[in-house]
Structure 1
Amino acid sequence: MTPSDKAALRAEMRAIRKRLAEVGPEAAERAASHMADLPPGDLLAVYRAMGSELDPEPLARALVASGRRLCLPVVLERDAPMIFRAWTPGEPLELDAAGCPAPLPLAEAVDPDLIVTPLLAFDDTGGRLGQGGGYYDRTFAARPGATRIGLAYAGQATANLPVEAHDIRLHGVLTEAGYRSFGISH
């Protein structure tokens, strides 16, 4: 697949995700209701939704209520893996090097057991189409022991995403329809 083909696929999937967000405003709450089906882990990385990404805020609240700890990714350098800092909903955030909301530098740096990631599309083999910056793939490569979970609308599923050598597959995906494991080992 050429870079222009991948750019066109990203544009198409952004439009689909935007429509899904408009017609399914309750999807984030419904996805959070399936939290008990997630793989085990005491420390989970979530993200702060931007644009039409499925908002992990309801999931974050449910995880904290169940006794799990949270963290958020932080981009310090554009071509390096992200780091993670401890975070609890309601704590102050600032923009990181990629312009995403992130915990303040005084927050503890941590190593999550499970990383919840946004995406544009996913397939039945754990393939993930992201925004194209490579932040999550670099981070997944640097943290091979962490479980990788996509958070998405069920309608973001697609057949056979183009996967390149640097793309790292997800272990599962959580949608408003439930949790799906892809049977991928670490």
Structure 2
Amino acid sequence: MTPHPDKTALRMRLRGLRRRLAHETPHAAERAAAHLPLERLPPFHAFSLYQPMGSELDPRPLLARLAHRGARAALPATRARDAAMSFRLWEPQMRLEPDALGIPAPPPFAPELEPDLVVAPLLGFDRSGRRLGQGAGYYDRALAGLRARKRVFVLGLAFAGQEIAELPHEDHDERLDAILTETGYFEVAQGVGG
């Protein structure tokens, strides 16, 4: 996948911004978890978090709140660099192993799950639900595959300062249904923008 030139420069800028926000906003992950209105989420039997890399906002404070609903947890995993990302069953005591991208993931023998709720990392977001990721398209392809089979609610987790007025977008970019930050939660109006 060839990155969009505007997105490439924006990613570089937003990586620096996110590092600064992570340093300047202690306890942001815990504050974000406290803002999550569980009653506003659609029903879910399985959910996916992610292992935070670098300055990504840590989703683990959300774990107890989401698991309290009786849902099973999953983490993303990639078998090969050119393979689709999947989601594997995860329990906090499970030993994680680097996947094909070097990201800690449940071991290959862990069963695959299809989450109904996906908590997604990002570099930037806008109010129309656009998400700017790292640029390899793993989340976009995985979400498109899931959404082709079932209803999936995608929650972007970010620092409030990662909001951009309007992100560049392409047809394959999957939208967020809601965004959670250390300052609050908001749902994205369906059918906004193109």
Indicate whether 1:57 and 2:64 are aligned: no
Partner of 1:132: helix, strand, or coil?
coil
Q: Which moved more, 1:49-58 or 1:35-44?
A: 35-44
1:34 deviates by 2.1
1:143 counterpart SS class: helix
Report the CA distance between 1:66 and its aligned residue: 4.5
Residue 17 of structure 1 corresponds to 18
Q: For residue 78 of structure 1, what is the aligned residue in structure 2?
A: 81
Return the alpha-carbon distance in structure 1 between the equivalents of residues 136 and 37 of structure 2. 31
Matches of 1:174 and 1:90, distance apart in 2: 26
- Which sections of structure 1, spanning at least 5 residues, go unmatched? none
User: How does the TM-score come out when normalised to structure 1?
Assistant: 0.92
Poorly superposed stretches of 4+, deviation over 4 Å: none
Aligned pairs for 1:26-175 within 5 A: 26-37=27-38, 39-40=41-42, 41-144=44-147, 145-175=151-181
In 1: Cα distance, 2:41 partner to 2:10 partner: 30
**Scaled by the length of structure 2, what TM-score is found?**
0.89
Contact kept, 8 Å, 1:43 with 1:71, in 2: the verdict is yes
Q: Deviations over 1:109-142 (max 9, x none)?
A: 1110011110000001000100001000001110
Partner AA of 1:88 in structure 2: E
Identity among equivalent pairs (%): 50
How many residue pairs end up in the alignment?
A: 184
Q: CA deviation at 1:168?
A: 1.1
Separation in structure 2 between the aligned mates of residue 33 and residue 130 of structure 1, nearest angstrom: 24
CA distance in 2, matches of 1:43, 1:88: 12
CA-atom RMSD, angstroms?
1.6
CA distance in 2, matches of 1:79, 1:165: 20
CA distance in 2 between counterparts of 1:178 and 1:90 reads: 30
Task: Say which SS state the counterpart of residue 33 (structure 1) adopts.
Answer: helix
Amino acid aligned to 1:121: G
